[in-house]
A = this chain, B = another copy of it.
Amino acid sequence: MKIIMDERGKKYFLNEDKEFHSDLGIIDEEQMSKANIGDTLTTHLEHDFKVIKPNINDFIDLMDRRCSILVQKDIGSVLAHTGLGSSSKVVDAGTGAGAIALNFANVVGSEGMVYSYEIREDFSIIANKNIETFGLKNIIIKNKDIKEGIDEENIDLIFLDLPKPYEIFEDVYESLNFGGWLAVYAPYIDQAELAYKVAKKLNFQNIDIIETFERGLEVRPQGTRPKTRMVGHTGYLVFARKL
């Protein structure tokens, strides 16, 4: 998959088989079909578009999203804390538009696999379409309530973004590898607290609740200073390990 970006930084999927139309003009099919990373394509109105190698974030920015998605600071925490890597096996629920599943699939690669549970049919259809567009073969969307059971075994990471995640921690424990991680995203303190307590009772180890903050620094002619705008809270992350 490739992406083209106009002079304003706006990005579009590159469809090699079709003429491209935008408010900055038309790029003909020939240019589109031969486009390589780094090339500059030109519209009939003399506007330039660059061909860039997209990463997972570009794709998620462009894809069909109908529900809120995890912010990067939280995705980063999950990846770093659980040591997710190539060839890992992941279960997540709920899928939503598939963003977090795509993030995981991007990391576990062709030797790994992501099983993503989504109770709503409409979301699972959107997610499936998104995955197909990105061309990933290592995600399976399951239109199914994860509370009815987790079908997979020897999983390295189970990630839950559900209202009452702790209701299925027994199943989670069964499905994890020795050494595997449970990670829960919990906007409310109460959820995080209950997740902690249930995980403890079920003998999970290395249980931690964390929250992360991210602040930008801005460099201006008058001087450098932290940014005024900052997000105060997204959610807590609860981590627990089967050991």
Interface residues of A (CB under 8 A from B): 3, 5, 9, 37-38, 50-58, 72-73, 75-87, 103, 106-112, 154, 156, 177-181, 187-193, 196-197, 205-206, 208-219, 222-234, 236, 243
Contacts and interface: CB of A to CB of B under 8 A. Distances in A.
Contacts of A156: 53, 55
Name the prevailing secondary structure of the A interface residues: mixed
Contact of A187 (B79, B225, B229, B236): B225
A107 B82 CA distance: 12
Contact of A50 (B180, B217, B243): B243
A161 to B, nearest CB: 15
Given A50-B178, A109-B87, A177-B53, A224 B80 contact: no
Interface centre among A191, A197, A232 (most CB of B within 10 A): A232
A65 to B, nearest CB: 16
Given A53-B179, A188-B225, 9 more contacts: A9-B205, A53-B177, A57-B83, A75-B76, A75-B80, A85-B106, A187-B223, A191-B223, A211-B215
B53 A82 contact: no
Top-3 shortest CB links A-B: A86-B109, A230-B232, A76-B76
A189 B188 CA distance: 12
Contacts of A55: 82-85, 156, 179, 181
Which of A3, A178, A230 has the largest count of B CB atoms less than 10 A from its CB? A178
Given A189-B189, A230-B230, A56 B83 contact: yes
A52 B179 contact: yes
A213 B108 CA distance: 27
Given A179-B54, A224-B189, A224-B193, A86 B73 contact: no
Nearest to A59: B83
A209 B214 contact: no
